[in-house]
Structure 1
Amino acid sequence: MPAGEPLLAVRGVETFYGKIQALRGVDIEVHRGEIVTLIGANGAGKSTLMMTICGNPQARTGQIVYNGQDITSLPTHDIMSMSIAQSPEGRRVFPRMTVMENLQMGAILEDEKFFDEDLRKVFELFPRLKERRAQRGGTLSGGEQQMLAIGRALMSRPKLLLLDEPSLGLAPLVVKQIFEVIRELNANEGLTVFLVEQNAFHALRLAHRGYVMVNGAITMAGTGRELLARDEVRSAYLEGGVH
């Protein structure tokens, strides 16, 4: 376990939709400079945890601490102004805006003196976005939209990047490219990443540590390598899924 205070700590969190309990006493830690992944089947509660961290829905019990501050009851706009950026499930780019305008939206809370430098970095990571910068977001391929969603998140200069199912619906080659960029950002920039994924093989190979969620509860934790080696993980999430 890494030393020191975690950048993000989720402690005993329970979340409900009305009377239906979606998260059951979830404990997760993400330390500075780590890539931590949460894997689980569709409907396990992974995206609910991501949304709970972002304040919508809010945790009914438990505590979420980010950078030493309790954010459990804060509204979403306050949480997202604290150097946290999210690339949400389903990408959710602004379809009528150009690539450039989408990236400008990501930078809206940042000092504009950094804009050109940050834009250059995003275009270096995703050369396809540079080629498509005048094109509307809605006309991009799924892979290009995912690149744009991540690029938009990076324009806010986050300390913590939340990625929700970045590989969903993408061709294996594009998935490989997206995961390579995440690895590069972590290795070269020291960016802290919390990654929610169904693609357990890629996610656990990438992550320093991982958690497994089943029916809203954490059932396993360990290094990425440890979880990849476990029979329960292999049979539940990797059979036929190694690309």
Structure 2
Amino acid sequence: MSEAGQPLLRVRNVETYYGKIIALRGVDVDVFRGEIVTLIGANGAGKSTLMMTICGSPQARTGEIVYDGHDITTAPTHEIIRLGIAQSPEGRRIFPRMTVLENLQMGASLVDEEHFDGDLARIFDLFPRLKERASQRGGTLSGGEQQMLAIARALMGRPKLLLLDEPSLGLAPLIVKQIFEVIGELNRRDGLTVFLVEQNAFHALKLAHRGYVMVNGKITMSGTGAELLKREEVRAAYLEGGRH
């Protein structure tokens, strides 16, 4: 994947705190247009905090976050979303009392209505299970279906950058495989740029063009997905027994 020009997302020397506790320590990350970039690390390493910091909640205390030429370091979340960033958060966080269709309508709320029917058809093509469940309440879906819905809801906003936080968490291996296949297809077919946080390092690094490793709020390694898969430190820490 070409790295010519400025990255779509540039994170520089970012530090984020929860009260007096530092969660991110001088983080530098680049995501270029058309890439899938993954961030791997143990539970509690700070991966989700970086995702939330990019989206403005919490805000970085120091450093700079630039997206598509806009400094979003201190921008409110709603402005960041309007610039073309969509997040599928950890834990899915769909609207459980709303139907599948209503969840998707919520995702499309910032986009011109003229695109809705076409975008909905595209989503149902990617996730046929959601078409079958269109009138069903989100809270009654299986875990895998809820994850599909969370990703689909984010895609309905027509993002330029999709942030995916632990999409495989708690899901059966077959569902994980399906979800990663969809992510790969969106990238290849539509050129969608994806920043992916994952504990399932094997799947994530196989899918990603580039990756970063985070330990205790710091980036400790970076490289192509293939390079990181070969690193002994990565294999020992994140891949032993992790091939699903």
Provide the residue aligned with 2:138 in structure 1: 137
Provide the residue aligned with 1:195 in structure 2: 196
Tell me by how many angstroms 1:98 deviates: 0.2
Tell me by how many angstroms 1:157 deviates: 0.4
Amino acid at match of 1:221: S
> Residues 1-243 of structure 1: matches in 2 within 5 Å?
2-243=3-244
Amino acid at match of 1:116: D
Amino acid at match of 1:84: I
Tell me by how many angstroms 1:111 deviates: 0.2
Q: How far does the alpha carbon of each residue in 1:179-229 deviate from its partner, in whole angstroms, 9 at most, with x for none?
A: 000000000000000000000000000000000000000000000000000
Task: Please report the TM-score for the alignment, with normalisation by the length of structure 1.
Answer: 0.99
Tell me by how many angstroms 1:11 deviates: 0.2
Tell me by how many angstroms 1:3 deviates: 1.5
List structure 1 segments (4+ residues) > 2 angstroms apart after TM superposition: none
Tell me by how many angstroms 1:137 deviates: 0.1
Give the Cα separation in 1 of the matches to 2:89 and 2:141. Answer: 17
Tell me by how many angstroms 1:14 deviates: 0.3
Amino acid at match of 1:241: G
Give the Cα separation in 2 of the matches to 1:35 and 1:72. Answer: 22
Give the Cα separation in 2 of the matches to 1:116 and 1:83. Answer: 20
Give the Cα separation in 2 of the matches to 1:105 and 1:174. Answer: 24
Give the Cα separation in 2 of the matches to 1:83 and 1:53. Answer: 12
Structure 1 unaligned segments of length 5 or more: list them.
none
Give the Cα separation in 2 of the matches to 1:81 and 1:113. Answer: 17
Q: Any idea what SS the aligned residue of 2:223 has?
A: strand
Give the Cα separation in 2 of the matches to 1:97 and 1:58. Answer: 30
Tell me by how many angstroms 1:2 deviates: 1.3
Q: How far does the alpha carbon of each residue in 1:67-117 deviate from its partner, in whole angstroms, 9 at most, with x for none?
A: 011000001111111111100000000000000000000000100000000
Q: Any idea what SS the aligned residue of 1:80 has?
A: helix
Give the Cα separation in 1 of the matches to 2:118 and 2:154. Answer: 15
Give the Cα separation in 1 of the matches to 2:61 and 2:120. Answer: 39
Amino acid at match of 2:148: M
- What is the RMSD of the two structures over their aligned residues, measured on CA atoms? 0.6
Give the Cα separation in 2 of the matches to 1:18 and 1:31. Answer: 32
Give the Cα separation in 1 of the matches to 2:166 and 2:208. Answer: 14
Q: How far does the alpha carbon of each residue in 1:158-180 deviate from its partner, in whole angstroms, 9 at most, with x for none?
A: 00000000000000000000000
What is the aligned residue count?
A: 243
Q: Any idea what SS the aligned residue of 1:218 has?
A: strand
Give the Cα separation in 2 of the matches to 1:239 and 1:45. Answer: 21
